[in-house]
Structure 1
């Protein structure tokens, strides 16, 4: 009977105790042990499987995090591109507005230029054009430059702002010699010290007191194409012989030196040493440019026209 019993001995500090289990208890204990072992293995299997699933889940989370970061980067890139596009569009709008303003300004300039060119025709004494073409504008430019060239090198305009002309060119009764003699210039009545200006570009041939002629203080200027101008009875000379002067430059002051009955400027124009009437030269300007060539008879203008075909470009543009 003892073989069918299970004896369990427990030893403590107080001594040992034995416990006897029956057959049923043994079966229950064995079943418990078997179930414990099975539970242990099953738990381990479940734990391993759960660990693998957790690893997979962690990898999935990491992948999602990477994708999220990539998505955020793409969004930032798109935002930067949109900002750049917005800036570009704003710059294009500003440029468009600038171009519109520039086109308006160019249009206004073209209108002003056309008006100026039509005004230039009037200034040149020409009939108005029906249409201002580029050829016409070029011809007007050439013609203007040509006239300005001649007006700078040939005597024109008044040499001083005199009160009036008291004596003209031609035969007259001399106020001192009391006999009729040739007066080779024109006299401008002017107070002593009135400025005297060169009527064209040139070189100073003589500047100083000229006793032999009775002109007193005298300036002689040499100009282009054989012309000279004389400025007599001055009170002061502002230039020196051998120097160059430009049209409109101050060269002296009016006076009463030499053989003179009162303050005035005696002004002469000479061509190849021969006096010519200064009046047409005094009245000559850009708007009556052709008048000089018909009024001054002592100069062979035809040969000058062969050298400088006046208004040829304009005639070509009108054909």
Structure 2
């Protein structure tokens, strides 16, 4: 048996002879076998990884399709929500416009919600305790919402300063430089605090009080409260400005009862010293039944000292 092999390599430089013994031949064959095994295993691994990558690509494509479907559904729901909000806003504005038209007719023909009642049927303010009166002053809008008494537009029919047609001005406008502090005129909870596009009020606050009363503060420059906040009479709620449909810096202030606009003028003057003027001048509210509710609440209050009421000027900084 031969123990070695002779290999001859011939090129332009001539023939060269090499001897390869059996051990070297076996090592070379082993190396070739290992290399072949590595190549086969690598190919198998590459094939497996390629298959996994393909599966992941398929899953990624499915997830992308699902994401596209969910995004389409989200956009559809958002469009439906926007449409519903628009319909609610339109119906709300239509309702307010209807209320304005009714008030326009009442103002033009001098009609009241009910005939003038005799004095004997009015509120017996003399029988009210000081605590009952203070409780009413805390719960029902009273006093000025800012440190200014310069009224530039009163409640009632007027020519709209921007649109030019005759319309009901549902509140009172106070001349106020931008940044004038605005205060709550009664205890309550903030229902709206933000930009109100459909009303033209710009940045607006709507404050809900007890017994169906609410107040509106429009054309603000800055708002210091959020919806859901509870505030007390005299608390700072924002600063006057010139936002929305406004021709100059001012505060638009409204007083409403059951969403019906009332002339704020009497409410501005209402105080302990001029307590009877509200009941004498505003007869569209069932004051008798309201006073009875206040009286019952006052009697049920065990510690009336917890509800002090200061004069309006003292509540302002």
1: CA distance, partners of 2:252 / 2:215: 10
Q: Is structure 2 residue 196 aligned with structure 1 residue 243?
A: no
**How far apart, in 1, do the equivalents of 2:291 and 2:188 lie?**
22
**What is residue 186 of structure 1 aligned with on the other side?**
172
* Contact 1:168–1:186, Cα closer than 8 Å, also in 2: yes
What displacement does 1:143 show? Answer: 1.6
For the 8 Å contact 2:255–2:263, the answer to whether it is kept is yes
Q: Superposition RMSD on alpha carbons, in Å? A: 2.2
Q: Distance in 2 between matches of 1:296 and 1:309?
A: 20
Partner of 1:223: 209
Counterparts of 1:307 and 1:203 in 2: how far apart (Å)? 20
Q: How does the TM-score come out when normalised to structure 1?
A: 0.52
Query: Could you tell me how far 1:234 is from its partner in structure 2?
Result: 0.2
Matched, 1:205 2:191: yes
Distance change (3 Å), C-alpha of 1:163 and 1:272: closer
CA drift of 1:309 comes to 5.2
Counterpart Cα distance in 1 of 2:203 and 2:293: 37
2:253 is paired with a residue whose SS is: strand
- Which position in structure 1 is the counterpart of 2:273? 287
Rounded to whole Å, the distance in 2 between the matches of 1:309 and 1:188 is: 34
Q: Secondary structure at the match of 1:181?
A: strand
Report the secondary structure of 2:220's partner residue: strand
Contact 1:163 1:190 in 2 (8 A): no
Provide the C-alpha distance between the structure 2 equivalents of 1:309 and 1:208, rounded to a whole number of angstroms.
36
| Unaligned runs of at least 5 residues, structure 2 | 1-124, 300-317
Aligned-residue offset at 1:308: 4.0
- Match in the other structure for 2:259: 273
- Residue 253 (1) aligns with residue 239 (2): yes
User: What's 2:288 paired with?
Assistant: 302
The Cα of 1:306 is off from its aligned counterpart by: 3.4
Aligned to 2:151: 165
CA distance in 2, matches of 1:189, 1:165: 6
Q: Given that residues 266 and 278 in structure 2 are in contact (C-alpha distance below 8 angstroms), is that contact kept between their aligned partners in structure 1?
A: yes
Q: Deviations over 1:260-318 (max 9, x none)?
A: 000000000000011000011001000111221121122111222333459xx9xxxxx
Shift of 1:210: 0.6
Cα-to-partner distance string for 1:164-185 (whole Å, 9 max, x where unaligned): 0011110001111111100000
Aligned-partner Cα distance in 2 for 1:309–1:222? 21
| Bigger-Rg structure (1/2) | 1
| Residue pair 2:136, 2:294 contacting (<8 A) in 1 also | no
* TM-score of the two chains, using structure 2 as the length reference: 0.52
Is contact 1:238-1:252 (8 Å) kept? yes
User: Are residue 147 (structure 1) and residue 133 (structure 2) matched?
Assistant: yes
> Alignment length, in residue pairs?
174
3-state DSSP class of the match of 2:179? coil
